[in-house]
């Protein structure tokens, strides 16, 4: 299925925005996933078979694969070796944001891949014509996100970087949210592209927030060594995703000192340690002096337990952001018990009452989150911590929470702001870029 032009161009734009020296100056605190002696820390799982198991039978389906795992996987010369058969080598642990480095060496007619968060895949090819897969773009080289749709960034590698058979290849992979960067033999082959969720045939669900790493086996011997992984914390993830605001055309909306440039509920907000914060027990809409039509805005926020706020989009300067403005995008502690029974269109990132967001991508309460929102005409995209949680055209939505009308949905421009709801939610590094 070919994506609409808007989505393809926006994905390309967001991909280019996201990267600034993603591979540079990485802290050296990685851990080895393979001890060079045995299969400790790994088990066998071909997820393409496991996914077919009936509900409640997944653990048994994995257990049944273990005899084949030890039959076809072994350790030789401190290398993890597969003979081209059996289930995939799968980490016992699951991972979220990571930096992964490893070496591999393969043979003719084999292909393989690395599954991230249990999802295929960073591709490994026999790139020769004799391998018989040039019709599947094997001639373009390894390292691409093979299971992305063909019209999306990352599906094909940016450059050919494979070494000849018999030589070791080196992968350096960074995964933050759904965004993936891949270096093969020190050449950038995937540049912050969104990795699609292969398990959702319609590609409507993002990559899971966590999952195991699989080393695929497929048709011939492959050897692995020096498998090292480092988890990426929230601060580093934000820095890598965000890069330099000015370089990408964003200008700051908040000086970290006072409310210069802001209007509306100025008495309900305060500056605390360089952050913009709604006063406890206060609310109202704080909004920019300037108005915007199509724009992208990026910011960082920290939720207290049970915290609730919202982003006012194309706000007219009075009334409710969620109804009189184009919309309000929820800022909410989804895991709070008091919110357990909300309408799906009320959780974090949702176009309030209109379009639900994918859940499960917020960081733990008390950690900083990074969010970028793009508004173009009637289309709204919300990317949270590297994962797109909303991608909606509000003009196509006709059913609303409580059947309530949203008279502001058609507004073409307005102010950007914050819709307070009595909780001390913190915001920092708020920057905006007009799109026209």
Check if the beta carbon of residue 179 is closer than 8 Å to that of residue 47. no
Report the predicted TM-score, pTM, of the whole model to 2 decimal places: 0.92
**Which residues have CB under 8 Å from 162's CB, separation 6+?**
125, 127, 141, 142, 169, 184, 185
83-142 tens-digit pLDDT: 999 999 999 999 999 999 999 999 999 999 999 999 999 999 999 999 999 999 999 999
Whole-number mean pLDDT of the chain?
A: 93
End-to-end CA distance of the chain: 29
Indicate the fold that domain 245-434 takes in CATH. Jelly Rolls (2.60.120)
| Topology (CATH) of 5-239 | Jelly Rolls (2.60.120)
For 246, other C-beta atoms within 10 Å of its C-beta total 10
The model's pLDDT over 384-434, given as tens digits with 9 standing for 90+, comes to 999 999 999 999 999 999 999 999 999 999 999 999 999 999 999 999 999
Distance (Å, rounded) from C-alpha 180 to C-alpha 145?
9
pLDDT of residue 15: 39
Question: What does the pLDDT average to over 202-226?
Answer: 95
Task: At 289, give phi and psi (nearest 5°).
Answer: -65, -40
pLDDT-derived band at 6, boundaries 50, 70, 90: very low
Residue ranges of domains in the chain: 5-239, 245-434
Confidence of residue 176 (pLDDT cuts 50, 70, 90): very high
Q: Is 346 helix (H, G, I), strand (E, B) or coil?
A: helix
* Other CB atoms within 10 Å distance of the CB of residue 45: 24
Q: How far apart are alpha carbons 149 and 395 in whole angstroms?
A: 26
Q: Identify how many contiguous H helices and E strands the chain contains and give both numbers.
A: 5, 26
Buried b / exposed e over 223-233, threshold 16 CB at 10 Å, is bbbbbebbebe
CB atoms within 10 A of CB 40: 9
Alpha carbons 146 and 127: distance in angstroms, whole number? 14
Find out whether the peptide bond into 121 is cis, omega within 30 degrees of 0: yes
pLDDT for 28 equals: 67
Q: Do the domains spanning 5-239 and 245-434 agree at the CATH topology level?
A: yes
Does residue 1 register a pLDDT over 60?
no
Query: In the numeric block, which tokens belong to residue 433?
Result: 């870029």
| pLDDT recorded at residue 196 | 97
Please tell me what DSSP assigns to residue 38.
S
- C-beta separation of 335 from 315 below 8 A: no
**How distant, in Å, are the alpha carbons of 104, 324, 395 from that of 296?**
40, 21, 19
Contacts of 245 (CB under 8 A, 6+ apart): 251, 252, 298, 429, 431
The residues pairing with 328 across neighbouring beta strands, listed in sequence order, are 312
Rounded to a whole number of angstroms, the CA Rg of the chain reads 23
pLDDT at residue 289 is higher than 80: yes
DSSP 104-168: EEE-TT--EEEEETTEEEEEE---SGGGT-GGGTGGG-S-SBTTS-TTSTTSS-SS--PPPTTS-
- The number of angstroms, rounded, from the C-alpha of 58 to the middle of its chain's C-alpha atoms is 26
Could you tell me which residues come within 8 angstroms of residue 290 by beta carbon, excluding any fewer than 6 positions away? Answer: 261, 415
Q: Pull the structure tokens for residue 165.
A: 């058979």
Asked if residue 380 has pLDDT above 60, the reply is yes
- Secondary structure class of 397 (helix, strand, coil): coil
- Give pLDDT tens digits for 236-280: 999 999 999 999 999 999 999 999 999 999 999 999 999 999 999
């Amino acid at each position: 299925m070919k994506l609409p032009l808007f989505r393809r161009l926006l994905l390309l734009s967001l991909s280019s925005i996201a990267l600034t020296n993603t591979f540079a100056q990485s802290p050296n605190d990685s851990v080895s996933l393979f001890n060079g002696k045995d299969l400790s820390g790994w088990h066998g799982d071909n997820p393409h078979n496991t996914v077919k198991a009936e509900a409640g039978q997944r653990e048994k389906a994995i257990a049944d694969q273990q005899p084949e795992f030890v039959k076809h996987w072994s350790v030789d010369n401190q290398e993890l070796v597969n003979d081209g058969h059996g289930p995939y080598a799968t980490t016992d642990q699951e991972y979220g944001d990571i930096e992964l480095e490893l070496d591999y060496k393969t043979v003719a007619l084999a292909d393989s891949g690395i599954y991230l968060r249990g999802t295929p895949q960073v591709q490994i090819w026999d790139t020769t014509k004799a391998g018989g897969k040039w019709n599947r773009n094997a001639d373009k080289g390894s390292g691409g996100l093979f299971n992305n749709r063909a019209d999306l960034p990352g599906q094909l590698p940016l450059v050919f970087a494979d070494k000849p058979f018999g030589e070791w290849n080196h992968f350096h992979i960074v995964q933050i949210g759904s965004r993936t960067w891949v270096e093969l033999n020190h050449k950038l082959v995937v540049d912050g592209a969104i990795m699609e969720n292969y398990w959702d045939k319609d590609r409507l669900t993002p990559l899971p927030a966590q999952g195991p790493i699989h080393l695929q086996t497929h048709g011939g011997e492959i050897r692995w060594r020096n498998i090292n992984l480092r988890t990426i914390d929230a601060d580093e993830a934000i820095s890598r995703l965000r890069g330099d605001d000015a370089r990408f055309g964003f200008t700051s909306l908040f000086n970290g000192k006072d409310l210069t440039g802001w209007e509306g509920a100025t008495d309900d907000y305060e500056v605390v340690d360089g952050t913009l914060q709604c006063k406890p027990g206060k609310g109202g809409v704080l909004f920019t002096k300037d108005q915007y039509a199509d724009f992208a805005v990026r910011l960082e926020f920290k939720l207290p337990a049970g915290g609730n706020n919202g982003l006012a989009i194309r706000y007219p300067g009075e009334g409710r952001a969620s109804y009189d403005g184009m919309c309000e995008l929820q800022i909410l502690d989804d895991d709070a018990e008091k919110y357990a029974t909300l309408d799906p269109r009320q959780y974090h990132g949702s176009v309030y009452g209109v379009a639900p967001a994918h859940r499960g991508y917020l960081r733990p309460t008390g950690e900083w989150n990074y969010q970028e929102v793009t508004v173009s005409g009637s289309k709204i995209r919300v990317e949270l911590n590297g994962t797109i949680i909303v991608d909606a055209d509000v003009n196509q939505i006709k059913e609303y929470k409580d059947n309530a009308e949203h008279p502001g949905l058609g507004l073409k421009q307005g102010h950007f702001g914050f819709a307070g709801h009595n909780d001390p939610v913190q915001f920092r590094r708020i920057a905006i870029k007009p799109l026209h």
